[in-house]
Amino acid sequence: MGNSTPVIVGVGQIVERLDAADYEGLTAVELAARAVELAVADAGTDIIPCLDAMTVIRTFPDSVPKAVQPILAPFGWPENFAGCIADRLNVSGAEVNHSGACGNEPQKWVGIFGSRIAAGEIRAAVICGAEAIATMRKAKAEGQSWDWTQQSDYPVNDPGMNTDFMTETELQRHGGAVPVSVYPLLEQARRLRLGLSTEEYALQMGELFAAFSEVAASNPYAMSQKTLTAADIATITDSNRMVGDPHPKSVVARDWVNQGAAVIMVSAELADALGIAEDKRVYVHGYADTIEKVVLDRADVGVSSAMHKAYDTALEVAGKTFADMRYVDCYSCFPIAVFNVLDHFGLPPQGDVPYTLTGGLPYFGGPGNNYSMHGIAEAVVSARADHGAFALVGANGGYMSKHSVGIYSTEPCAWPQNRNSFAQAELDAVAPTALDLEPTGTYDLETYTVIYKGKAPQVAIAIGRSAKTGRRAIAVSPDPAVMQNMGKLELGAAIAVTAGQPVNTFVVV
């Protein structure tokens, strides 16, 4: 094992709850910078003067078109968010990057920086990010007028959001434009495939996430520390309204957060030179990054083969199995993201170990694209406290579109092999499902959702396959009777689709 072996030596997390006695109303820049400072303190030595590279995870306001940004950032926003953090930390001469969008980015950058450290290109790197959405919303609701604009001349590499490949004109045209309208389609596909009633599936989602809420309740960095039962999660109430069938509010990622996290990676040589103790060092034993087909191209709308491949590849490179993982954090923006992993490995909704280290996005909090940084931080802390044990972090972005997985332990190892290109080639070799752009006739129901506004159902979205051609179609129905009865349909139910503008429409046969 050479001296260029990458090791994680510092992690930091910060949370600001609105009702906390020490609440300051920190900006996202301040939260991210403080997370880095906490990571430096965790390492036990000042890494900043040695820093060669830093990546700042893209925030929600930086993940939308500029014309939309004022909606997410009503008090203005830094023109150079990453540069502002570099300035605040007194970074000098280091390469600074602004990441792409989506929740896989923190784990992906562990792989990128680890590879560069192993190759001798750099010796020390920081990955950090934060969101202050709760503070912004609170201030706006109270009629306050703040100024969160900032300037920085620090040069930053910003290749953009890297989300263009996820754009599906037909999906968006029919209402599938945001996670709360797309993930229900993925979730219902699984429910229909399993043949579960709406009540049975609601309870299964509740059983899965009740355990997550228990973990969040004891996590000092969680936005919510309230324990929920399976029934609490499954039952529709005024405070737990349906968002997009089958998802009530209680299973949807919480974006009302003020959270930041950071990770520091250095070479073993630098760690030695800085006197960082061996028991602070955590090694990456395996990692993988994959990209899934767009939703309507997938063989099964409710399955991400790319997610399976990312988990399998990372574990294979590490020489481990899922059963070897004592600590696990599965990305949990919606239940289907976790179920996709559990189904692949044949695991029950509640296993021998929790499937989260943080408490999950609906309860711990979903700080934009930076959530999995918190998962990595918790994995590092868990590995340090249980020498030789292994922890897995699974990160997901888009609509189960981008996947990054990492395997962590204090057990020393050389930097693992990168098998991303082989894994992706296998995924790309599978032909996409054909789509009818002007569908007419009868299709067999694959999945659906009913989107709500407040308590009222607004529109049903259905996806079906033609038994004759195998081609897929997407259509909508605003008919109250159709929306009310969608939950009674089984997989393969006949729907009659008519092509049209601005949308295709359907009726139940």
Same domain, 452 and 331: no
Distance CA 304, CA 37 (A): 37
What pLDDT score does 2 carry?
59
Per-residue tokens: 126? 């920081």
Per-position DSSP letters for 89-126, written without gaps between them? TT--S-EEEE--SSTTHHHHHHHHHHHHHHTTS-SEEE
User: Is the pLDDT reported for residue 266 higher than 60?
Assistant: yes
User: Is the pLDDT reported for residue 112 higher than 80?
Assistant: yes
Per-position DSSP letters for 380-437, written without gaps between them? HHHHHHSTT-EEEEEEEETTTTEEEEEEEESS--PPPP--HHHHHHHHHTSPPPPB-S
User: Is the pLDDT reported for residue 62 higher than 80?
Assistant: yes
What pLDDT score does 353 carry?
86
Region 475-499 average pLDDT: 97
Same domain, 369 and 462: no
* Residue-number span of the structural domain to which 330 is assigned: 6-165+254-428
Q: Which residues does residue 258 pair with via DSSP β-bridges, in sequence order?
A: 132
Other C-beta atoms lying within 10 Å of the C-beta of residue 280: 19
What is the pLDDT confidence band of residue 259, given thresholds at 50, 70 and 90? Answer: very high
Q: 233 in a domain, yes or no?
A: no
**What are φ and ψ of residue 305, in 5° steps?**
-65, -30
User: Is the pLDDT reported for residue 425 higher than 90?
Assistant: yes
Region 28-39 average pLDDT: 98
Same domain, 51 and 147: yes
What pLDDT score does 165 carry?
87
Given 380, 403, 428, which residue is the final one in a domain? 428
Distance CA 136, CA 133 (A): 5
Same domain, 357 and 460: no
Region 252-263 average pLDDT: 97
Q: Do the beta carbons of residue 254 and residue 131 sit within 8 Å?
A: no
Same domain, 378 and 416: yes
Same domain, 276 and 133: yes
What pLDDT score does 352 carry?
86
Given 405, 428, 451, which residue is the final one in a domain? 428
Tell me the average pLDDT of the chain.
97
Report the candidate in 40, 1, 498 with the shortest Cα–Cα distance to residue 265: 40
Per-residue tokens: 377? 């931080």
What is the pLDDT confidence band of residue 1, given thresholds at 50, 70 and 90? Answer: very low
pLDDT > 90 fraction of the chain, expressed in percent and rounded: 98
Distance CA 141, CA 487 (A): 36
Region 110-124 average pLDDT: 98
Given 382, 400, 428, which residue is the final one in a domain? 428
Q: HSE (CB half, 13 Å, CA atoms) of 263?
A: 32
User: Is the pLDDT reported for residue 422 higher than 70?
Assistant: yes
The separation between the first and the last C-alpha atoms of the chain, rounded to the nearest angstrom, is: 65
DSSP state letter for 408: E
Region 43-65 average pLDDT: 97
pTM: 0.97
Q: HSE (CB half, 13 Å, CA atoms) of 100?
A: 16
Region 445-467 average pLDDT: 97
User: Is the pLDDT reported for residue 188 higher than 90?
Assistant: yes
Sheet strands side by side (includes 6-15)? 6-15, 258-267, 124-132, 53-56, 95-98
* 3-class secondary-structure state, position 460: strand
Per-position DSSP letters for 188-231, written without gaps between them? HHHHHHHT--HHHHHHHHHHHHHHHHHHHHT-TT-S------HH
Name the residue with tokens 């203005």.
76
Q: 417 in a domain, yes or no?
A: yes
CATH code, domain with 479 = 2.40.50.840
- Number of domains into which the chain is organized: 2
Q: 12 in a domain, yes or no?
A: yes
